[in-house]
Structure 1
């Protein structure tokens, strides 16, 4: 039987099934959520960029987190807000691929950035005397280049393999675009795509989780050996906040990845967990890493005090 390939340039989302009364409240909630994410992440970025006292290895690595969060949240919210406002479930294929690519860059980048931050904390706490020798400006630039270079190469190959395949369907199985949803539109052999997808998941998960597990075990061991109570408390607090964000992302992300491969998984729960990955970490990251970090909190408070004083 001959396969009928779909050459349509438009795809159809899964509908949110919103009633006419709930469209405006949902639109306002989505818009407000996006503005909160924009404000918090831009504030964290500008605080680090504009204050020379924060131009240190830890904060230069941290600067990449709000940039990465804005890539993922903007890719999701801009299309979602438009979809709610115009009450349309269609998207062009090219826009869908761009959205999916940005979302996967965000997911991969978050794993690598949090891993680099864990490595930085490991050097600072376990090898404090060598910190300035190891974490030089050149080393930081190599780390940042590795974070973005690895993400772009891994995801570039992933979507390069996807775009070579013909489509015969146009209905997406998700409320936003991602690689598994786009792959479900294909009516050709996807074995290579599936193998490479599993390879990237294994590489990022094993590499990131292995590094984080190793660094935090060493940090905990160093904390319990330390005789300084204040140093121990500060280190444990830093580890706890980092682990909170990392585990939150892991729970949402792994469930979404695994659910695509389980026929029994609830599609509604998968969509909720997938959207949560794009909403909660970008909202919590600037609060946890900004307000919970004394140096950044002091600079933010000082900035707003100066602004209020200028207005008066």
Structure 2
């Protein structure tokens, strides 16, 4: 793409990234089922935490925040892919596309922020068990969460701010939804400068949050070694849920980013597969991990179902 291309007025984009999918309806139905289960499971987690006063603690507020992030993250792209694959609706208007791009990138950033804060929460719980509730109160947790949302919005504002002023020469998006790379490739300019600009911002967030999580677990391991066997078991159980969630989120993201930066040319199918996995994977794994491995939430769900069954 060069500046010599003739710019056109784009009122809507055509999503062409899923044109080569075999059996699109079957794939779309699978994405639909996973999406619905992920959203419902996260909403249930949120409702249980909100309605139970005993769960109004920093750790559960952070789980609730993660559930909100997961709902936004998966809802930013999944409905569009489902519409393309199942209903054959391949167009999206310009403004909704930019909103989707902003929501998707914000979900991407906030997922990392949420996991980093949860790692810090676990570090405090392990290193300062007797002063934990005085250091990290509900009010401080909420203030920290709001602050991170504001910081996330500021970072993500770079995306629409760099795209909106640019003239467009194409209306077909090469990827499965309105992400930054897809929209930028429809413009008449050389995208390399903008890719590099955004890559710096995203790499900083990606690697700084990951390094912060790793350092938190180095501290956790140090304090666990100094603890009794019973405390070690309890700490390990508490941290395992978070480790599962971190692994589930960062694995496809790192794979996609590292392969791209190394110059490995991915097929469109491989890229779409990694992107869909990074969107839907954490959103459906997170609520079930915290439901099954957090005994307070698990017992609350079990007791609720028992009450429903006995009332019938």
Query: Structure 1-normalised TM-score?
Result: 0.92
Q: 1:158 touches 1:196 (CA, 8 Å); kept in 2?
A: no
In the other structure, the counterpart of 1:168 is 169
C-alpha deviation, 1:194, in angstroms: 2.9
Q: Does 1:188 align with 2:189?
A: yes
C-alpha deviation, 1:116, in angstroms: 0.5
Give the whole-Å Cα distance in 2 for the aligned partners of 1:263 and 1:173. 18
In structure 2, list runs of 5 or more residues that go unmatched: none
Comparing 235-244 with 115-124, greater Cα deviation is found at 235-244
Q: 2:76 touches 2:104 (CA, 8 Å); kept in 1?
A: yes
Cα distance 1:253–1:23, how it changes in 2: closer, same or farther (>3 A)? Answer: closer
Comparing 58-67 with 165-174, greater Cα deviation is found at 165-174
1:15 aligned residue (18, 27, 30): 18
Q: Does 1:279 align with 2:280?
A: yes
Alignment of 1:141-290 (within 5 A): 141-190=142-191, 193-227=194-228, 229-261=229-261, 262=263, 264-290=265-291
Deviations 1:121-170 (A, max 9, x none): 10010111221221023321221112211111110122212212111122
Cα distance 1:219–1:57, how it changes in 2: closer, same or farther (>3 A)? Answer: same
Q: 2:18 touches 2:85 (CA, 8 Å); kept in 1?
A: no
Secondary structure of 2:130's counterpart equals helix
Cα distance 1:209–1:2, how it changes in 2: closer, same or farther (>3 A)? Answer: closer
C-alpha deviation, 1:88, in angstroms: 3.4
Query: Structure 2-normalised TM-score?
Result: 0.92
Cα distance 1:166–1:102, how it changes in 2: closer, same or farther (>3 A)? Answer: same
Deviations 1:30-77 (A, max 9, x none): 322222112211110101000000000110111111111111111222
Give the whole-Å Cα distance in 2 for the aligned partners of 1:226 and 1:18. 53
Give the whole-Å Cα distance in 1 for the aligned partners of 2:4 and 2:104. 34
Give the whole-Å Cα distance in 1 for the aligned partners of 2:184 and 2:8. 14
Q: Does 1:85 align with 2:74?
A: no
In structure 1, list runs of 5 or more residues that go unmatched: none
Higher relative contact order (CA 8 A, sep 6+): 2
Deviations 1:173-210 (A, max 9, x none): 21112111111112225465334312222321232112
Could you list the runs of 4 or more consecutive aligned residues of structure 1 that deviate by over 6 angstroms after TM superposition? none
In the other structure, the counterpart of 1:4 is 6
Give the whole-Å Cα distance in 2 for the aligned partners of 1:29 and 1:275. 11
Q: 2:172 touches 2:186 (CA, 8 Å); kept in 1?
A: yes
After superposition, the CA RMSD in angstroms is 2.0
Q: 1:168 touches 1:186 (CA, 8 Å); kept in 2?
A: yes
Give the whole-Å Cα distance in 1 for the aligned partners of 2:244 and 2:202. 21
In the other structure, the counterpart of 1:303 is 304
Comparing 121-130 with 251-260, greater Cα deviation is found at 251-260
